[in-house]
Chains A and B, each alone.
Chain A
């Protein structure tokens, strides 16, 4: 019997858990998760951010978080460090710059370990930056986190839209709550008619790259301003 499974519910009791997901890589899930965490913290929520993209964790890069200086503290579990009021946990604390070649069962085990030993404390919202697609991380999160909800990202590209439609269909078949779909990187045409719970669209922001690694600058980007308006519909 795996003792970790039952502990997860305890750890996340009373916390709204939102998985920021999408069917494809490179559509802005990590950026959206990180900015969303900063925005919600500014709105007064107690927020946690968990980077579950083990193969390419990048929230720390987006937030400019020096993981070598700020490690989780050991206190009857692992207490995540904070950045701009957001409690943050990532595999990068232990893997550093090394690549983590994990197969499915390893991903599953690492997720269980993290969810059962990380002590988030009294959070209002835990955001999970999910890896792309319908893999171990998504299926395990659904199985292990009873109250998980999904916020889905897409881009106007047909390649992304087709994948994300399948992803949303799966979530609905599994009776998972889908908060809605947000379109990122819009240049001209929107994919809004492809989704029945479309929350809004964010234009492609050419200046965004310059703000990466600086939370203050990030929050001043057009991306964040447009994202903020969408978040107001949800929170």
Chain B
């Protein structure tokens, strides 16, 4: 249910942005980085509930973004695969994606010193309005 907190943050940010720009929101675009392993069904449900409670009506476009990791030691890059983790490790990365450094190592040199290049978590890409 941590998806609720993230959905709340997305709506709150979009509203703040629309107030700053003096626009009425028509559409927002959100990217969901795979590292955070968001349950899209719960996220959608939360967005819908929050919007309904707040009397908001606009469309939400979502896109999944693959998580790309790059080793700081040997420059190898690779995609994060949650299937390689145990259940409790997946859950830990879900809550705080940076915990991935505790459970994943570079597949080439074994270093835990890598960067999350993209696909970390939830990001509000755009707010369109009029």
Contacts and interface: CB of A to CB of B under 8 A. Distances in A.
B6 A3 contact: yes
B124 interface: yes
A78 B8 contact: no
A119 B1 CA distance: 12
A6 B99 contact: no
Nearest to A5: B13
Given A3-B122, A99-B102, A101-B112, A94 B95 contact: yes
Contacts, number: 100
A91 interface: yes
B13 to A, nearest CB: 4
A101 B113 contact: yes
A1 B102 contact: no
A235 to B, nearest CB: 31
A106 interface: yes
Contacts of B120: 109
A117 B101 contact: no
Interface residues of B, number: 36
A106 B98 contact: yes
Contacts of B125: 1
Interface residues of A, number: 33
Contacts of B2: 74, 77-78, 117
Interface string B52-74: 00000000000000000000100
A117 to B, nearest CB: 4
Contacts of B92: 94-95
A96 B1 CA distance: 22
A205 to B, nearest CB: 34
A10 interface: yes
A145 to B, nearest CB: 16
Contacts of A107: 98
A7 B11 CA distance: 10
A67 to B, nearest CB: 12
A74 B115 CA distance: 28
Nearest to A113: B96
Given A91-B96, A114-B96, A103 B115 contact: yes
B123 interface: yes
Interface in A1-37: 1-7, 10
A98 interface: yes
A52 to B, nearest CB: 12
B8 A76 contact: yes
Interface string B80-98: 0000000000011001111
A77 B96 CA distance: 12
Nearest to A54: B98
Interface of B: 1-2, 4-6, 8-10, 12-14, 16-17, 46, 72, 91-92, 95-99, 101-103, 112-113, 115-116, 120-125, 127
A-B residue pairs, 6 tightest by C-beta? A77-B5, A76-B4, A94-B92, A7-B9, A98-B102, A3-B9
Given A91-B99, A94-B92, A100-B98, 14 more contacts: A1-B123, A1-B125, A2-B13, A3-B124, A6-B9, A6-B16, A7-B12, A76-B5, A77-B2, A99-B102, A100-B102, A106-B98, A109-B98, A110-B98
